[in-house]
Amino acid sequence: MPKMKTRRAAAKRFRATGGGRIRRSTAGKQHLMRGKSANRLRKLKKNSLVDARDEARIRRLLPYEL
């Protein structure tokens, strides 16, 4: 049986937490920061978790990482 390939685009965007959930970065921090408040930008720095409904789909893209 051949090895399964990891989707490299997904491997760059997602990481596993210690508890087994999938972590992702928050959207909206790449450009157009002037119109956003400092409080909003500070909250965007933090990572968030992938929704539970999407976890199975992302785990399929990352067979060995998670």
CA 54 to chain centre: 11
pLDDT band at 56 (very low <50, low <70, confident <90, very high): very high
Domains detected in the chain: 8-61 (4.10.410.60)
Per DSSP, the three-state class of 53 is helix
Q: How far apart are CA 51 and CA 21, in angstroms?
A: 9
- Residue 66, pLDDT > 80, answer no
Over residues 52-61, mean pLDDT: 95
**65, 16 contact by CB (below 8 A):** yes
Total-model pTM: 0.81
Write the pLDDT tens digit of every residue in 4-18: 999 999 999 999 999
Write the pLDDT tens digit of every residue in 18-51: 999 999 999 999 999 999 999 999 999 999 999 9
